[in-house]
């Protein structure tokens, strides 16, 4: 008896390539970011996006910047891999925090330059707090989707 998935999905000739997997990761990330950004824009007084099209383009930019931040964090923290001791652990934590928190200022500035007043965050520290909340929600939603995907295997 054929499964429901076999009837709904097109036949797949081979295992997906790394480029296909990367495309799927980024594509779903953009869609998840679009949904999260749209929900915050609709239900929060601190996040403003002027249109769906702007939200789509902002989601693409956010996805790119978040992925670049993660790559940068992993590459920089790899330098601490062979280091041991409490001082190195503290330094590693501080560097990771600086990268992850500092990147939000870069993201906010990039969004400001690209989208001017079409996308903005209001509140504490010129909206950085709300940007951090939105980005953390995006990353959490992406992780939950990835865990659900893996659980279906």
pLDDT in tens, 96-140: 888 888 888 888 889 989 998 899 899 888 888 998 899 899 989
Domain containing 115: what range?
A: 19-151
- What pLDDT does 2 receive? 61
In a domain, 122, yes or no: yes
DSSP H stretches of helix in the chain: 4-8, 18-43, 52-78, 86-115, 124-151
In a domain, 145, yes or no: yes
In a domain, 12, yes or no: no
In a domain, 3, yes or no: no
In a domain, 14, yes or no: no
Count the domains in the chain: 1
CA distance 137 to 95: 22
In a domain, 4, yes or no: no
The answer to whether the CB of 124 falls within 8 A of the CB of 133 is: no
45-73: average pLDDT: 93
């Amino acid at each position: 008896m054929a499964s429901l998935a076999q009837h709904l999905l097109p036949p797949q000739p081979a295992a997906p390539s790394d480029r296909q997997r990367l495309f799927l990761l980024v594509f779903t990330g953009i869609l998840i970011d679009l949904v999260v950004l749209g929900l915050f824009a609709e239900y929060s007084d601190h996040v403003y996006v002027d249109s769906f099209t702007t939200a789509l383009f902002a989601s693409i930019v956010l996805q790119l910047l978040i992925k670049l931040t993660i790559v940068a964090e992993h590459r920089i923290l790899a330098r601490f891999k062979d280091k041991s001791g409490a001082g190195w652990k503290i330094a590693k934590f501080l560097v990771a925090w600086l990268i992850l928190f500092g990147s939000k200022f870069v993201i906010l500035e990039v969004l400001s330059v690209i989208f001017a007043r079409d996308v903005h965050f209001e509140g504490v520290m010129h909206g950085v707090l709300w940007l951090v909340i939105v980005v953390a929600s995006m990353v959490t939603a992406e992780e939950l989707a990835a865990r659900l995907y893996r659980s279906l295997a």
